[in-house]
Amino acid sequence: MRSLLLVAHGSRRRESNEEVRRLTLGIEERAGESFDLVNCAFLELAQPTIGEGIDAAVAKGASEIIVLPYFLAAGTHVVNDIPEIVEGRRRMYPAVRIQVTPHMGAAPALPDLLLGMVPGADR
């Protein structure tokens, strides 16, 4: 069973966290049969945490978990914090394949996406 876990920073502002949850639902709708589970988790300030998100996927039977960092830049959270949390869960669940994708800001499609948001921009 494949699971996708969208990881965001988390916010004290409830509406910001709800925005991530709505995005997760949109991803789930578009993913089709690519993933059996699509959920989100937060690095801090909101629930579930990344560890809890991985735990929940494993409890539901995931044998593969793809962690997708919803971050624009490769700061400390992307480079250190998320990989450390994931590595801890890999040790807890050696039979589960857990991998971290590049962060959103590294996506080759991002420049086109951003230009698509700008009225009158040539693409």
Active-site positions read 9
Return the closest-CA partner of residue 92 out of 51, 122, 60, 47. 51
Say which CATH architecture domain 2-116 belongs to. Answer: 3-Layer(aba) Sandwich (3.40)
> What pLDDT digit, counting tens, does each position of 71-83 carry?
999 999 999 999 9
> What pLDDT digit, counting tens, does each position of 86-117 carry?
999 999 999 999 999 999 999 999 999 999 99
* pLDDT over 90 percentage in the chain: 97
> What pLDDT digit, counting tens, does each position of 30-77 carry?
999 999 999 999 999 999 999 999 999 999 999 999 999 999 999 999
Rounded to whole angstroms, what are the CA distances from 45 to 16, 48, 86, 89, 105?
11, 9, 18, 20, 22
Is the pTM higher than 0.75? The answer reads: yes
User: Residue 51 and residue 36: Cα distance in Å, rounded?
Assistant: 19
